Amino acid sequence: MGEQDAELWERCVDGDPDALGSLFDRHSDAVFRYCLSRTGSWHDAEELVSVTFLEAWRQRKGLTLQRDSLLPWLLGVATNAARNKARSIRRHEQFLGRLPHSPFVPDHSTAADERLDTERLVRELLDGTAGLTDGERDVTLLCLMNGLTYEETATSLGIRIGTVRSRVHRAKKKLRAAAPHLLDHTGEPATILESRLS
């Protein structure tokens, strides 16, 4: 099975970049799925994964691993990075909107059809969660759409498990009323990323 996260993290603290590489290999797919579920963009998700692991390396001296897995902490970093990126994009678009004859032109890359399909599905999910509060959306993306436990979600967001439970309950109720197309046959939010990106 190899070294546990705590052992690898100790090596990171000592300045071993290979240990961070091992943690990246272990957790980058889960971080990517979560970032894609937040942004709806393959490119932005890849960028946020890089930012997350760079931040882990930057903070290695100040972080003592409290759990068996580094993943909940990484997802918390990814959450903050995604929020910062969204704010930056909004400011940029507002700035461009004030310029004469400078309409915002989205980046049209030559991504593969599968990536475009996945991005479209994730955008539908994001549109469907528009009626949720920020807190409800966070727990929906982490817990319901990316499969984290309530405890892992609480750790990632720095909140209590009871808060996660109540936000999940409210989010499910709102989704059932406003976006039933996002629910699977059991009435739970669909987890498209696990099957498409695993």
The model's confidence at residue 89, banded by pLDDT at 50, 70 and 90, is low
The single-letter code of the amino acid at 63 is L
CATH number at residue 80: 1.20.140.160
How many domains in the chain? 1
Provide the residue range defining the domain that includes 87. 5-197
Q: Calculate what percentage of the chain has a pLDDT beyond 70.
A: 72
pLDDT at 27: 95
pLDDT at 193: 47
Q: How far is CA 90 from the centre of its chain?
A: 19
Residue 118 has pLDDT above 90, yes or no: no
Residue 192 has pLDDT above 50, yes or no: no
For 36-63, letters b (16+ CB in 10 Å) and e give bbbbbbbebbeebbebbbebbeeebeeb
